[in-house]
Homo-oligomer: A and B are copies of this chain.
Amino acid sequence: MRLTMERTLEHIDYDDGTEELARFAKALGHPTRVAILKYLDRQSCCFTGDIVDVFPLAQSTVSQHLKELKNAGLIQGNVEPPKVKYCINEENWKLAKTMFSDFFGE
Protein backbone atom coordinates (compact mmCIF):
# COMPACT_ATOMS: atom_id res chain seq x y z
CA MET A 1 0.00 0.00 0.00
CA ARG A 2 1.20 3.42 -0.85
CA LEU A 3 0.53 6.52 1.14
CA THR A 4 -0.18 9.74 -0.62
CA MET A 5 1.72 12.67 0.67
CA GLU A 6 -0.18 15.31 2.54
CA ARG A 7 1.05 18.30 0.70
CA THR A 8 0.15 21.63 2.17
CA LEU A 9 1.69 23.68 -0.55
CA GLU A 10 0.45 26.84 1.03
CA HIS A 11 1.86 29.85 -0.60
CA ILE A 12 4.79 31.44 1.12
CA ASP A 13 4.44 35.18 1.43
CA TYR A 14 7.63 36.79 0.31
CA ASP A 15 7.77 40.50 0.13
CA ASP A 16 6.64 42.02 -3.06
CA GLY A 17 9.97 42.81 -4.64
CA THR A 18 11.12 39.26 -4.12
CA GLU A 19 8.25 37.75 -6.07
CA GLU A 20 8.50 40.27 -8.84
CA LEU A 21 12.23 39.90 -9.26
CA ALA A 22 11.81 36.13 -9.39
CA ARG A 23 9.15 36.51 -12.09
CA PHE A 24 11.44 38.63 -14.23
CA ALA A 25 14.33 36.29 -13.62
CA LYS A 26 12.28 33.25 -14.49
CA ALA A 27 11.36 34.79 -17.82
CA LEU A 28 15.06 35.33 -18.46
CA GLY A 29 15.85 31.82 -17.31
CA HIS A 30 15.95 30.26 -20.76
CA PRO A 31 18.63 31.06 -23.34
CA THR A 32 16.11 31.28 -26.16
CA ARG A 33 14.22 33.99 -24.34
CA VAL A 34 17.39 35.89 -23.55
CA ALA A 35 18.35 35.66 -27.21
CA ILE A 36 14.91 36.83 -28.31
CA LEU A 37 15.18 39.85 -26.07
CA LYS A 38 18.66 40.66 -27.34
CA TYR A 39 17.36 40.41 -30.88
CA LEU A 40 14.38 42.61 -30.05
CA ASP A 41 16.61 45.14 -28.42
CA ARG A 42 18.78 45.40 -31.54
CA GLN A 43 15.83 45.61 -33.93
CA SER A 44 13.76 47.76 -31.59
CA CYS A 45 10.78 45.73 -32.81
CA CYS A 46 10.03 42.73 -35.01
CA PHE A 47 7.41 40.24 -36.10
CA THR A 48 6.95 36.74 -34.78
CA GLY A 49 8.02 35.36 -38.14
CA ASP A 50 11.35 37.17 -38.00
CA ILE A 51 12.18 35.38 -34.79
CA VAL A 52 10.98 32.04 -36.11
CA ASP A 53 13.42 32.49 -38.99
CA VAL A 54 16.30 33.17 -36.65
CA PHE A 55 15.95 30.18 -34.31
CA PRO A 56 15.85 26.50 -35.22
CA LEU A 57 12.60 26.05 -33.34
CA ALA A 58 9.03 25.36 -34.35
CA GLN A 59 6.79 28.36 -34.82
CA SER A 60 4.61 27.19 -31.95
CA THR A 61 7.60 26.99 -29.66
CA VAL A 62 8.69 30.52 -30.47
CA SER A 63 5.15 31.71 -29.96
CA GLN A 64 5.15 30.08 -26.55
CA HIS A 65 8.35 31.82 -25.54
CA LEU A 66 6.97 35.14 -26.73
CA LYS A 67 3.87 34.55 -24.64
CA GLU A 68 5.96 33.99 -21.54
CA LEU A 69 7.94 37.14 -22.15
CA LYS A 70 4.71 39.03 -22.63
CA ASN A 71 3.19 37.57 -19.46
CA ALA A 72 6.28 38.60 -17.55
CA GLY A 73 5.76 42.09 -18.94
CA LEU A 74 9.09 42.32 -20.69
CA ILE A 75 7.64 42.67 -24.18
CA GLN A 76 4.39 43.78 -25.71
CA GLY A 77 2.69 42.75 -28.92
CA ASN A 78 0.75 44.94 -31.34
CA VAL A 79 -1.36 43.45 -34.09
CA GLU A 80 -0.50 44.74 -37.55
CA PRO A 81 -2.50 42.41 -39.72
CA PRO A 82 -1.67 39.91 -40.73
CA LYS A 83 1.36 40.10 -38.46
CA VAL A 84 2.05 40.81 -34.84
CA LYS A 85 4.79 43.23 -33.97
CA TYR A 86 6.62 42.67 -30.73
CA CYS A 87 8.63 45.30 -28.93
CA ILE A 88 10.37 45.64 -25.63
CA ASN A 89 8.02 46.96 -22.99
CA GLU A 90 10.14 49.96 -22.08
CA GLU A 91 8.42 50.72 -18.83
CA ASN A 92 8.83 47.26 -17.38
CA TRP A 93 12.26 46.95 -18.92
CA LYS A 94 13.35 49.93 -16.89
CA LEU A 95 11.65 48.50 -13.85
CA ALA A 96 13.42 45.18 -14.23
CA LYS A 97 16.70 46.95 -14.79
CA THR A 98 16.24 48.86 -11.56
CA MET A 99 15.16 45.82 -9.62
CA PHE A 100 18.13 43.73 -10.69
CA SER A 101 20.44 46.64 -10.09
CA ASP A 102 19.06 47.15 -6.59
CA PHE A 103 19.23 43.44 -5.92
CA PHE A 104 22.87 43.14 -6.82
CA GLY A 105 23.73 46.34 -4.99
CA GLU A 106 24.60 49.75 -6.33
- Separation in Å of the A42 CB from the closest CB of chain B? 11
Give the nearest-CB partner of A37 in chain B: B103
- Separation in Å of the A60 CB from the closest CB of chain B? 12
- Within the assembled complex, what's the spacing in Å between the Cα atoms of A31 and B18? 6
Chain B residues with Cβ below 8 Å from A2 are: 52, 59
Q: Number of A interface residues at 8 Å Cβ cutoff, please give it.
A: 38
| Majority secondary structure of chain A interface residues (helix, strand, loop or mixed) | helix
6 smallest beta-carbon distances between A and B, as pairs: A26-B29, A25-B28, A97-B104, A29-B29, A22-B31, A100-B100
Q: Does A58 contact B (CB under 8 A)?
A: yes
Q: A25-B29, A97-B104 are in contact. List 12 more A-B contacts (CB 8 A).
A: A8-B56, A12-B32, A12-B55, A12-B56, A18-B34, A22-B29, A25-B26, A26-B26, A26-B29, A28-B29, A100-B100, A100-B101
